[in-house]
Structure 1
Amino acid sequence: MTLTSHPVQFPRSRTGNASGTSHQRRIRGAASGLVLTIGAACAMLTGCSSPTASLPTLASTQSSPYRVDAGDQIHVAIQDLETVEGDYTVEDGGAISLPYLKSVKVAGLGYREIEQTIATSLVERGILTGDPVVNVRPAQLRPFYVTGEVNQPGEFQFREGMTVLAALSAAGGYTYRAKTNVVAITRTTDGQDVTAQADESTIIKPGDRIRVYERWF
């Protein structure tokens, strides 16, 4: 007797096919969710990495004549009135108190303008005649402040013509985490705080608050 060999055929499992399809769907669903999560995370990181993006730009690579403000100290000397010579602090109201003249409004004026204002007042009040010689120069201007990603944050003495770079150098330079291409400066103008973005070449002013942000790696 000759036996004929036939391959054994097993029935396909419908359950197995359904299970495989379901598994594939789960994989596709998980992948889609992962893409959405990564996209959201990237969007969040992009927003966090540019805290200055929405700020206006504080232009200035040129130094303009400084105008004094409350808190500044100026030195005043008047020829023929030696007793007046001294340092005077600009009060909150924007004036200094001088002998003979009492209150003189100086806030918002440059040094030459203050000299002219004092000279005019001396003549108008009959204290001096002709063309009084008045000399006004800075004695001690308001400090500036540096915070954020610098090595030595704090308060620093202002010098006329200082740039952001000089201010950051006074604060010990950037930390390794610092965002170095832009900073934020908050400046009080006409009693209102205004915050803008600036770079290392920007000229700063007394009372400026400079913030260095952390960069996202």
Structure 2
Amino acid sequence: MLNRLHIRLSALAVLGLAMMLSGHVEAANDQYHLGPGDKVRVTVFGDDQLSGEFQVDANGAIAMPLIGEVDAHGHTTSELAAAVAEKLSKDYLKDPKVSVEVIDYRPFYILGEVRNPGSYPFVNGMRVMNAIALAGGFTYRAREGHMKINRDIDGQVQELEADQTTVVLPGDVIEVPERFF
């Protein structure tokens, strides 16, 4: 009996780990669009002086040695790698091989009826309830079952209905409203 319980708990742990990893893959895969506040590692194979870590600035660009600013806003890591390679191939390298990976995601924001509203670092697999816990929990006036998320979707900020299980993405602004009674 104890062995079966251990096996069931182990299976649940593996399932939980798989869910966490799938959240990691979801945010880190090539569907993620870069924005201000993201930090990326650009690797130019064979040239360590051109490789490095770069922050996407408020204008949505990264500033690299030799080639200057490269637009990153709204692009995937593959698209940014192609843009860097194109700029490098014009005047500096013949057939450069470039890879880009996100090393730090932009923060998310939470405001309204939470104890500590503000900006928090994004963690893969985060849900609204995790974000609320980071912000110190609900205040006594919070409307706990109904939140809104302002999310940039294809360059347009859209207001989405959310509950405590909704997935949080980098750059999201979570609003916890006040209840009426």
TM-based fold match above 0.5: yes
**Aligned equivalent of 1:82:** 48
- Matched position secondary structure for 2:43: strand
**RMSD, aligned CA:** 2.5
**Aligned equivalent of 1:66:** 32
**Aligned equivalent of 1:115:** 81
TM-score (norm 2): 0.70
Alpha-carbon distance between aligned partners in 2 of 1:192 and 1:113, rounded to the nearest angstrom: 20
In structure 1, runs of 5+ residues without a counterpart are: 1-61
Which one-letter code corresponds to 2:94 in the other structure? Answer: T
Aligned residues: 154
Alpha-carbon distance between aligned partners in 2 of 1:210 and 1:93, rounded to the nearest angstrom: 23
**Aligned equivalent of 2:99:** 135
Alpha-carbon distance between aligned partners in 2 of 1:213 and 1:92, rounded to the nearest angstrom: 29
- Matched position secondary structure for 2:133: helix
Alpha-carbon distance between aligned partners in 1 of 2:124 and 2:49, rounded to the nearest angstrom: 28
TM-score (norm 1): 0.60
Instruction: Deviation per CA, 1:116-172: give whole Å up to 9, x if none.
Output: 22223323x153334x33232223332222122223322211124422222112112
- Pair 1:206-2:170 in alignment: yes
In structure 2, runs of 5+ residues without a counterpart are: 1-22
Alpha-carbon distance between aligned partners in 2 of 1:87 and 1:105, rounded to the nearest angstrom: 15
**Bigger CA radius of gyration:** 1
**Aligned equivalent of 2:9:** none
**Aligned equivalent of 1:144:** 108
Contact residue 74 and residue 154 of structure 2 kept, 8 A: no
Alpha-carbon distance between aligned partners in 2 of 1:214 and 1:95, rounded to the nearest angstrom: 37
Give 1:10-49 correspondences, 5 Å limit: none
Alpha-carbon distance between aligned partners in 2 of 1:70 and 1:216, rounded to the nearest angstrom: 36
1:97 is displaced (CA, Å) by 1.6
Which one-letter code corresponds to 1:103 in the other structure? Answer: E
- Pair 1:175-2:144 in alignment: no
Contact residue 115 and residue 137 of structure 2 kept, 8 A: yes
Alpha-carbon distance between aligned partners in 2 of 1:93 and 1:116, rounded to the nearest angstrom: 19
Alpha-carbon distance between aligned partners in 1 of 2:99 and 2:158, rounded to the nearest angstrom: 32
1:188 is displaced (CA, Å) by 4.5
Identity, % of aligned positions: 36
Instruction: Deviation per CA, 1:78-116: give whole Å up to 9, x if none.
Output: 111101222222233322121222221211111122122
More strand, by proportion? 2
**Residue in structure 1 matching 2:122, options 146, 158, 171:** 158
